[in-house]
A = this chain, B = another copy of it.
Amino acid sequence: MSKVLRSEPLSDADAKWVGLRAIYWQDPTGKERKWECADRRTRKGDADAVAICAIVQRPSSEPHMLLVSQFRPPVNSSVIEMPAGLIDAGEEGEEGTRRAALRELKEETGYGTDKEGGKIDVKLVSTVMANDPGMTSSNMKLCVIRIDLADDAPEPVAEPDEGEFIERHLVPVHGLMNALLDFQKKGFAVDARLAHAAIGIELGLGRLGAENSKI
């Protein structure tokens, strides 16, 4: 069972993966102000990370979203997230993002990029999005990927890196919100971006205050 054993302050000079920065900026009135910011130190391309919104479709089932969970030391919990990973050197631009997404999807879930992994259709490659931009320069891109599998195709086999311990979960796309509430009841934490996608699905379905969308 994963757990945090202890933690201690880390000096900016000793940190390899993250860092702190003081930013001096000019506000709209011309006044100079100071802001504190945390950065990732691993950026190699045009964004830190790529996440994959993977929609798995078998002919006789409703579409499912492919999620992962793993223990995240910063929050001392297993977290339900979309599959994701850091972008490697050489994975720039839209084509690079696509390659990074398919690489991470394969590693973390086994889905995609060959016959056993399903038929792949990349529906969307986003531009760069800001993660929590009041606190950090950390950013990401998102790929929406549809994966078609035969009804009788076996579940693909994941290929995790050393030190990665990742579980897969398939939940109905239109039941995402309830699925996340169930995961929380079981003790998982939920990634905020994934939860926002779930809220969006509810709004797209004309719920949660968007009922009049159907007029």
Q: A residues touching B (Cβ–Cβ < 8 Å)?
A: 1-28, 32-33, 35-40, 49, 53, 55, 57, 62-63, 71-75, 77, 79, 81, 84, 121, 123-124, 126-140, 142, 144-146, 163, 165, 173-174, 176, 184, 189-205, 208-213, 215
Nearest chain B CB to A1 CB, angstrom units = 7
Total identical chains:
2
Q: Can you identify 30 A-B contacts, CB atoms within 8 angstroms?
A: A4-B24, A4-B26, A5-B32, A6-B23, A7-B21, A8-B21, A10-B22, A11-B11, A15-B20, A15-B36, A16-B36, A37-B73, A38-B38, A55-B203, A62-B213, A63-B209, A63-B211, A74-B133, A75-B139, A79-B130, A124-B208, A127-B184, A131-B131, A132-B192, A142-B195, A145-B209, A174-B204, A174-B213, A192-B193, A200-B200
Cβ contact within 8 Å between B63 and A213: yes
Checking B12, B37, B205 against A11 with a beta-carbon cut-off of 8 angstroms, the contacting residue is B12
User: How far, in whole Å, are A163 and B189 apart by their CA atoms in the complex?
Assistant: 34
User: How far, in whole Å, are A27 and B49 apart by their CA atoms in the complex?
Assistant: 23
Nearest chain B CB to A18 CB, angstrom units = 5
Contacts of A32 in B (CB 8 A): 5
Cβ contact within 8 Å between A209 and B123: yes
User: How far, in whole Å, are A77 and B138 apart by their CA atoms in the complex?
Assistant: 13
Interface centre among A21, A39, A204, A208 (most CB of B within 10 A): A204
Cβ contact within 8 Å between A4 and B27: no
User: How far, in whole Å, are A2 and B167 apart by their CA atoms in the complex?
Assistant: 44
Contacts of A176 in B (CB 8 A): 200
Cβ contact within 8 Å between A130 and B38: no
Nearest chain B CB to A4 CB, angstrom units = 5
Residue of B with least CB distance to A53? B199
User: How far, in whole Å, are A58 and B163 apart by their CA atoms in the complex?
Assistant: 53
Nearest chain B CB to A169 CB, angstrom units = 16
Cβ contact within 8 Å between A210 and B173: yes
Contacts of A192 in B (CB 8 A): 129-132, 139-140, 142, 193
Nearest chain B CB to A38 CB, angstrom units = 4
